[in-house]
Amino acid sequence: MVSSSLEELSLTADVLIVGGGMAGTWAATSAAQAGAKVVLVDKGYCGTSGVTAAAGPGHWWVPPDPPGARDAAVANRVAAGLGLGEAEWMYRILDQTWRTLPTLARYYKFGVDDEGRVNHRAVRGPEYMRALRQQVLGHGVTVLDHSPVLELLARSDGSIGGARGLRRQDGGRSYRIEAGAVILAAGGTSFLSHLLGSHTNTGDGYLMAAEAGAEMSGMEFTAAYTIAPAHSTMTRSMAYSFATYYDAEGRELDLPFGPDQTIHLARALQRGPVYCSLHRLPDDIKARLHTISPNVPLVFDRWGIDPYRDRFEVTLHNDGTIRGIGGVRVFDTDGTTSVPGLFVAGDNASREKVAGAISGGGNVNSAWALSSGVFAGRAAARVARSAARRTERLQPLGRTGLRPGGRPQTLDVAAIRSSVRAEMHPFDKNLFRTGPGLAASSRILEDLWSEVADRGHAGTIALREAASLVATARWSVATAAVRNESRGLHRREDFPAQDPGLAARLLSGGLERIQVALDRPSAAARPGQLEAVP
């Protein structure tokens, strides 16, 4: 299976999985169980990189008993999703999560509650990811760590037949993998905010999918923000359900817990520093916090702060598409894209149909990452099995940051990253959006894109990451500019109400020129066929 030369490592597989977080590892296991020869590659170390390991994923967990519980859970979620969720998809992921998660018991020790019942819903991120890695290896999957994929490879008919990347710990040597089908599970992006675990998630999977001709969906919903102690990356937020907030003068702020609390907190932060106290946290949670979320108290311990007594400053970090919901458009729960041979799972895929217009954080995202991984793994194994093995020359699809359209030049990657952050993080640009503000961001991002597309030639991981960040920000801003209303995570100061005519998903795509289109039920859009919203 493996042949190597000094120049390039070359492998073949039935199914190639890009990304080894929750979605990628469940996909790898499921494809291997379906009989496929699987290779999984990760930018970092599968088991610690990505957002899953640092989190404490709580899955959407509703057993079939008592009858009616799932109907109620789905009905609530459909209502909360503000017209963009779909009940059938929700039932599917609830059921798959319930069937699949307990199968990890061989590798993961699930906790028990006070009555001795096994708690499957909430798992501890580090142990969970370690178990998922063990499970993948146990199924004979070949894992390449520290091996970011740079670009996809296509057959002459446009279907995806592999990928190419670099082996970071092998002198940057390149590798290529030919595969019957490819699953992109490279996570979402927080646009390099300080969201825990997200630093290497730069939207690479979106750019590669778009280069293959796939579209995005829901990219306007990138305005989820999560609280953290100021000057820290600790964005695990459960304890803040019980927080009390104060301004710099020590006056208590009226920020009642609920869906709008982030908005009120952001407004307060625009006025000045905000301080928090967790003295109202119930004693049983205080007692168990070190066990449930051991990394949460670490920050306070290091600073010598008792968060149940002392006040500490807080901030908000952008979640982008990680607790937001945009991603590559999927046609079914198998993660089928508009590109033959290409599947997506987890945060790499759009989650609107299971999360609606609001964040899927707290439970839906994990259930989606698990289930979409399992579904995509099975489907990709099926496609790979039925695809006749062709020996043909594969075309590399990467352009921006790899193969410049104009005269090559050395680019300041750090400056490009900062520019993207400057458009995607400030509250007055991405949380409280306005038409003129979005137009201004768009101009800056278009210039950045032209610069990287025309001049970027280094072919380095950093430059490809920068290209991915700019591309993702462009789709987000373009879609937000078209959604002339406020709905869920998307807020327009100039259109504060919901528009019933926009209770629909918005597709976006394109590289040189961005296009945005309404996702009409009948529109089986194919690459390059997006039509502008009138």
Binding site for ligand FAD (CB under 6 A): 18-24, 41-44, 49-52, 55, 57-58, 148-149, 185-187, 195-198, 200-201, 204, 235-236, 322-323, 346-348, 361-366, 369
CA distance 226 to 41: 29
Closest separation between CB of residue 58 and ligand FAD, Å?
Answer: 4
Between residues 42 and 451, which has the closer beta carbon with respect to ligand FAD? 42
Give least dist CB 517 to ligand FAD, A: 25
Q: Rounded CA gap, 492 and 324, in Å?
A: 16
Which residue, 315 or 365, is less far from ligand FAD as judged by CB? 365
Q: Least distance (Å) from ligand FAD to the CB of residue 80?
A: 14
Instruction: Name the residue nearer to ligand FAD (CB basis): 205 or 437.
Output: 205
Task: Using the minimum distance from each CB to ligand FAD, give the nearer residue, 145 or 519.
Answer: 145
- Closest residue to ligand FAD, Cβ-based? 21
User: Which tokens sit at 445?
Assistant: 């991002």
Residue (123 or 281) nearer to ligand FAD, CB: 123
Looking at 213-282, list the stretches that DSSP marks H as alpha helix, in order from N- to C-terminal side: 261-271
Q: Are strands 173-184 and 8-18 parallel, antiparallel or unpaired?
A: parallel
Least gap, CB of 362 to ligand FAD (angstroms): 5
Question: Helices (DSSP H) in 250-355: which residue ranges?
Answer: 261-271, 283-292, 295-303, 320-323, 352-355
d(CA 130, CA 124) in angstroms, rounded, equals: 10
| Rounded alpha-carbon distances, angstroms, from residue 414 to 108, 189, 462 | 40, 17, 9
CA pair distance 32, 61, nearest whole angstrom = 25
* CB 60, min distance to ligand FAD, A: 7
**Number of Cβ atoms within 10 Å of the Cβ of 9:** 19
- Nearest distance from C-beta of residue 302 to ligand FAD, angstroms: 18
Q: Least distance (Å) from ligand FAD to the CB of residue 224?
A: 10
Torsion of CA 196, 202, 205, 211, to 10 degrees: 170
Cis amide leading into 102 (omega within 30)? no
CB closer to ligand FAD out of 52 and 350 = 52
Q: Which is nearer to ligand FAD, 396 or 435 (CB)?
A: 396
Which candidate, 234, 236, 232, 254, places its Cα nearest to that of 245? 254
